[in-house]
Structures are given as structure tokens and as C-alpha cells.
Amino acid sequence: SYIRTVAVMECEASENDDLIKKMSSDTFYTDAKAYWESVPATVNGVMGGFANLSSCDITGSKKFLLPFIQGPTAFVPPDIALDCGAGIGRVSKRLLLPLFKEVDLEEPNSAFLEKIQGYLGESGKRIGHYFPVGLQEFTPQERHYNVIWCQWVLSHLRDSDLVSFLQRCILGLVPNHGVIIVKENVSTDEDDFDDEDSSVTRCMETFLRIFSEANLCIVKQENQPKWPGNMFPVTMFALAPNSSKMNISTCSS
């Protein structure tokens, strides 16, 4: 989900059972769809009322991403990026389009898609494709993307669907010249379900388990700097396939 403040709560076994039940519910995806259909197609809407943090977020993302595409350690050509859960195109407009030749967008909300062209302006001409489908049903084009950017969206996938999606993303990367970027809220305790938007804020242990199951390794990991202390921490992960031939010392199975 979008940015979230921390709610102090006791973690008990019954809560974990409740989390599993809610994520397994037949309405897990439809409830999330209904929530986002009620959200205004604005920056403030897609950021859950925290539009004032957008510049801080983009600055942190750019600093994290640039070494992969520029400079002596770069191995990712700035050719084609995929923006997953693109919303109205905030990340594409301010981060991806200024750096990449072409950007594709995945976004299932029709109201957001209608807003994108006007919001992106002239830079929208370099959008390659729009994919109006949820990530649980989406398959990236194989061997096509240099960066697959997933921000504040993976919380809307069940664990099993997230593993499957990441495995499909691996196939979507240009071999040895692509990276998956995950930027998500991270719970400092147990996984935390949000009934309002039908999402789960995962703890670090869960993220690491999911990345391992998807056969991905962490190339780089940083927390979003200058983030308010009353918010869930936001962590950025750069992920590459364990089978990658890239000479990256931090990438290990």
C-alpha cells in the first residue's frame, strides 16, 4: 500500500492466523480494487495523503538507482523500464522517464490510466505500453526490461502470488543487464494487515524469504533517508537473479 503510519499493536498467534485468513480471502484482491477506485487520481491520492513526501521519496530513489545506470559500476543500460503499480505516473514522470529512453506502465485502475497522459505531458510520448491488469495476472515481456520498478504495490499481492510475479520478472529482465527494484514499507515487527485497503505490510524476514523463494539475491539495500519517524520505514531493494553472471560481490545465493 501507500505510505503508512505505524500503529502500536500487540502481536499474538491469533493475529497471525487472522492475517493468513484475510490474505487467503476470496475478496483480498477485489477489496483492494474497490479501495483504489475510491481514491482521487492525484499525487496526494496515490500517496495516501502524504504528497508532501513525494520529493523526498523521488530524491532517495534517484540516489539509489543512479549507480546502476551511470558511472564505473553501472551494468544496466538506461533503455527500457517498467513501472509496476504506476498510479497516475508519479514515479515515471519524476524518476524513470528522465533517465530511460522508454517506460512501460502497469496499472489496473482505469481512472488513474485516464489521468496519466495529461499528468505526464510531453514526456508521455516515450511511454511504450500501458498494461491495465493487476500484477497477480501480469507477465512482463521476456528479456525486455533493464529496470522493473515496484513501489508501494507488492503489499497487494498474496505471498505465493508475489513469488510467482517476481519469477516472471526475472524472465522479463535483459539477461545480465537488468535489475528489479522493490521499494516498500517494512514492518519492524510482524506482518501487518491493513483492512482499509486490503494490503499487508511485510516484515524484513518475510521479504527475505520471498526473495529467496523467487531465486533472487539482494544486490543493494538501503532505507529511504529523511523519512518521518512515525511512518513505517521504507526500504529499497535491488534484486538480481541468482543465476546472473554479473560480477557483483554482494549477490550470492
Q: Which residues pair with 192 in a beta bridge?
A: 201
DSSP β-bridge partners for residue 148? 82, 180
pTM to 2 decimal places: 0.92
The two beta strands, 179-185 and 147-151, are parallel
- Amino acid letter, 104: D
DSSP string, 121-189: GGGGGGEEEEE-S-GGG--PPTT-BSEEEEES-GGGS-HHHHHHHHHHHHHHBPTTS-EEEEEEE-BSS
pLDDT tens for 204-225 read 999 999 999 999 999 999 999 9
Please count the CA atoms within 13 angstroms of the CA of 231 that sit on its side-chain side.
20
Residue range 65-70: mean pLDDT, rounded: 98
Contact 233, 185 (CB under 8 A): yes
Q: What is the largest CA-CA distance in the chain?
A: 52
Nearest partner of 108 among 34, 172, 177, 43, judged by Cα? 34
Per-residue pLDDT at 251:
54
Specify the DSSP class assigned to residue 140.
P
What are the Cα distances from residue 75, in Å, to 68, 176, 177, 179? 6, 8, 6, 9
pLDDT of residue 2: 60
What lies within 8 Å, CB to CB, of 140 at 6+ separation is 82, 148, 168, 169, 171, 172
Residue 8's pLDDT is 45
SS3 content of the chain, % helix, strand, coil (to 5): 40, 20, 40
Nearest CA-CA partner of 78 in 4, 145, 19, 9: 145
Element (H, E) at 234: strand 234-241
Q: What average pLDDT does range 35-48 have in this prediction?
A: 97
User: What's the CA gap between 249 and 253, in Å, rounded?
Assistant: 11
pLDDT digits (tens, 9 = 90+) for 118-129: 999 999 999 999
122 three-class SS: helix
Grid cell for residue 169: 520478472
The mean pLDDT value for 227-252 works out to 81
- Residue 108's pLDDT band (boundaries 50, 70, 90)? very high
Best CA proximity match to 64, nearest among 248, 234, 246, 206:
234
